Amino acid sequence: MWLGLSHNEQEKVLVHGTMKTIERYIIRRSFTAFIVTLAAMTGVVWSTQALRQLDLVTSKGQTLLQFGYITALALPFLILIVAPFAMMLAFIIVLNSMSRDSELIVINASGASKWLVLRPIMTFSLCVTALMYFLSIYLSPTGLAELRSELTRVRVDLVANIIKPGRFIPIEENLTFHIRNRSGDGVLEGLLLDDARDPETSFTYTAETGRIIEAADKTLLVMLDGTIQRRPKGGQDMSIVSFESYGFDLSSMIPEAREPTFKASERPTFDLLSASPDDSYAAKHWDKLIVEFHDRLSVPLYPIAFGLIIYAFLGSPKTTRQDQGLAITTTIAVATLLRTAGFGATLIVSAAPDMFPLLYAIPIIAIALAAWSISLNRRPWFVQRLVDGTQSLLNGVGSVFSKLVGRKNQGTAGL
């Protein structure tokens, strides 16, 4: 079959097959670098957030498994934040490696179209955009809502808050709780409850065993085989009463807010603009709901902008390593400034919700400028000025560093 083709047809088949191979090669390497970078960046951010919830284990009586589950609920939100930067670093690693190994030079010398490198970059960028839309519209708010529900449950979980064997736990002012042990079936052993809330009399309850139960819309501490010590404050007299069973009402110690109040970032996307009229949070923070809705739709556009920017600076072969290092530095600076502008736009729209088109304008303008720069096959004047400015800055920093090192060496030689 191959011998039956003309020379031009054979060349087209060879080039087409090579293009597909190179595209798969770039996508495969980008995917590997993206996963590793995303895992590392998400892990760092997650660990800092998890430390803020460490009191779930230390003071709220939750297990490590529950702690891990609760903190993992924020992972979709964290991935949504770091994914564009992980993609940026992945592309930089891949394109820098291809430049260092002269692969970009070979591709360019073969006369291949710029789409040979740009197409896999944009394909991968669109995949990351699709992932971010899924996270932004569905998974992230769902995870944050479940996180809010779990935190509310922990805060109103009276058993978890007061049942800590071997410790004296102040339930509220002048009311202290202590148990020696808690068995697997929920029975409290060696129970002591000191109640000094009454301004005239204090009570101390002791019991061999006890259990917390729910009955008639009340939370009761049922104590078995114990005593009640009654002491007038300021006096020496004390009376002791023995009992076989005694119920102590704990309902007043339970926080009233059993149902969580979901913030804007924790609400379903398509419920943000259709809140119920009796929703007190929506009535007070309608502007936040508007900002959150448009932020979820605009943030996933940044991977497309990052992909085009990265190609504009790194997609063509560089003649020296200095040019490649300058291009990498400029790429990171531009992408960081772009995302910072997006965060700034969020603050502006929070103060003036009618300016929500600004959230879309920033990534769309960046996409348009980067695409225009690529179509020109040369750097526009504003890009060239940015590169020159970065070069001047790096040269200035290098000069200052060299002078400092020189002075240090002179001082060492003088000794």
pLDDT digit string, tens, across residues 221-262 = 889 999 999 888 777 778 888 999 988 887 666 555 456 778
Structural domain contains residue 266: no
Backbone φ, ψ for residue 215 (5° rounding): -150, 130
In contact, 159 and 210? CB cutoff 8 Å: no
- Examine residue 274 and state whether it is found in any structural domain, yes or no: no
pLDDT of amino acid 114: 80
Task: Find the mean pLDDT for residues 79-100.
Answer: 92
Q: Is residue 259 part of a domain?
A: no
- Summarised one tens digit per residue, pLDDT across range 202-215 is 899 999 998 877 77
Q: Which residues of 68-101 are buried (b: 16+ CB within 10 A; e: fewer)?
A: eebbebbbbbbbbbbbbbbbbbbbbbbbbebbee
Task: Please check whether residues 41 and 90 belong to one and the same domain.
Answer: yes
Is 232 in the same domain as 180? yes
β partners of residue 68: none
The residue type found at 51 is: L
Query: CA–CA distance from 355 to each of 350, 351, 352, 365 (Å)?
Result: 9, 9, 6, 16
More confident residue, 306 or 159: 306
Return the pLDDT at 408. Answer: 56
pLDDT at 13: 43
Q: Give the model's pLDDT for residue 393.
A: 65
Instruction: Please identify which residue in the block is written with the tokens 């400029």.
Output: 330
Q: How far is CA 207 from the centre of its chain?
A: 47
Q: Is residue 272 part of a domain?
A: no
| Whether residue 148 is found in the same domain as residue 200 | no
188 and 145: one domain? no
pLDDT value, residue 3: 42
Q: Which of 116, 132, 122 is nearest to 91 (CA)?
A: 122
pLDDT at 225: 92
* Model pLDDT, residue 221: 82
Q: Are residues 168 and 241 in the same domain?
A: yes
pLDDT of residue 367: 95
Same domain? For 204 and 293 the reply is: no
- 20, two tokens: 């597909």
Are 324 and 343 in the same domain?
Answer: yes
Residues 315 and 245 in one domain: no
261 is a domain residue = no
Asked whether residue 273 is assigned to any structural domain, the reply reads no
What angle is formed at CA 240 by the lines to CA 237 and CA 246, rounded to 5 degrees? 140
Residue 77: C-alpha distances to residues 82, 147, 236, 279, 296 (Å): 9, 11, 60, 24, 11
Residue-level pLDDT at 309? 92
- Does residue 270 fall inside a structural domain? no
- 196 and 211 share a domain? yes
- Retrieve residue 263's tokens: 């913030």
Query: Looking at residues 131-139, what average pLDDT do you find?
Result: 95
pLDDT surpassing 70 at residue 56: no
pLDDT band at 328 (very low <50, low <70, confident <90, very high): confident
Q: What is the total count of domains within the chain?
A: 2
DSSP state of 265: G
Same domain flag for 245 and 294: no
pLDDT value at 129 more than 60: yes
Backbone angles phi, psi at 111, to 5 degrees: 85, 15
Strand partners, 126: none
For residues 108 and 228, state if they share a domain: no
Distance CA 162, CA 170 (A): 8
0.85 exceeded by pTM: no
Question: What residue numbers bound the domain in which 221 lies?
Answer: 163-253
CA gap 289, 293 in Å, rounded: 6
